Amino acid sequence: MKIATASYPLDVLPDWAAYEDKLTAWVAEAAGEGADLLVFPEYGAMELATLAGLDVARDLEASLHAVADRLPEADALHAHLAGQFQVHILAASGPATHGLPDGVHRPVNRARLFAPDGSMGVQDKQVMTRFEAEVWDVVPGGPLCLFDTALGKIGVLICYDSEFPLLGRALSEADILLVPSVTEALAGYSRVRIGAQARALENQCVTVMSSVVGAADWSEAVDVSVGAGGIFGPPDRGFPDTGILALGELNVPGWVYADVDLAQVADVRRDGGVLNRRDWALGAPRAERVTVTQLP
């Protein structure tokens, strides 16, 4: 298959038609290059807040609900495009306020995966960043999901979630882990990229990082974004020695592409130079066997 992952800029949208045109152009471009799976970034849906006016987009609380109110329309558009172009699409995540798990009463950060046959799955972020938890009051949502698709088994770790090995391990059956992200500085981008590459190493799978790029001074939440799309695998047989299948140029908008053969994932899991996924339990710490010696 061919995977396309986005380095995606956010725009001020004058009307819904502008969003339709933008998204259709992005999907058409990737599909025209032969992509089967398209990955948009975390909080890329925040540009929908501008449809309610810049005053709303600048207001942290109001922007959450403005985007959440537009998600059903955005989902319908993504579903239509997935069918029209016969592609799988991970839509840019955004705040959701409907269909929340029991006991959740604040917006969650939700990504949605669309298949060309009309089916759809949702994945909520598990661990909030400090900004989400302390300033924005976005909360964790439903549990991790494994999507069994025509392309293979797909999991989603939204941005910060990719930095936690046990979340990746919970999706160890996935052939592909999608990592939609938005990061405001090079350090944040580096953390998520390192997390994505580490999850590819541990699970002996393919990971796909997408990023918001550029300035959006109309939103405190996504005002400046640093990043690039990237596609990674384990640095082992059948994969590049660096583990990097494709990597976009920092902060340059556009698609980043890589051809991926999931037979290589199966091969390296069965007979790689190392077997990280199989040997995970062997690497578990045994603190009771550790002796700490006082140095003079």
**Residue 281, pLDDT score:** 87
Q: Which residues contact 64 (CB under 8 A, 6 or more apart)?
A: 95, 97, 107, 136, 138
Residue type, 93: S
DSSP structure class, residue 139: B
CB 67 within 8 A of CB 49: yes
Task: Tell me the C-alpha distance between 192 and 276, whole Å.
Answer: 20
* pLDDT per position as a tens digit, 79-120: 999 999 999 999 999 999 999 999 999 999 999 999 999 999
* pLDDT per position as a tens digit, 203-215: 999 999 999 999 9
Distances (CA, A) of 230 to 22, 75, 161, 179, 294: 22, 25, 17, 10, 45
Q: Domains along the chain?
A: 2-289 (3.60.110.10)
Q: Which residues contact 87 (CB under 8 A, 6 or more apart)?
A: 27, 30, 31, 35, 36, 37, 38, 81, 116
Q: Please say if the pLDDT value at position 296 is more than 80.
A: no
CB 7 within 8 A of CB 256: yes
* pLDDT per position as a tens digit, 121-156: 999 999 999 999 999 999 999 999 999 999 999 999
Task: Tell me the C-alpha distance between 199 and 203, whole Å.
Answer: 6
Strands (E), the chain: 2-9, 37-39, 88-96, 108-114, 120-124, 146-149, 152-156, 176-181, 206-215, 224-225, 230-232, 244-247, 254-259
Q: Which two tokens stand for residue 3?
A: 């995977």
Q: Please say if the pLDDT value at position 291 is more than 80.
A: no
Give the DSSP letter string of 226-258: ----EEE--SSTTS-TTSEEEEPPTT--EEEEE
Mean pLDDT rounded to a whole number for the chain: 96
CB 137 within 8 A of CB 104: no
pLDDT band with cut points at 50, 70 and 90 for residue 282: confident
Sign of the dihedral through C-alpha 1, 77, 207, 210: positive
CB 109 within 8 A of CB 93: yes
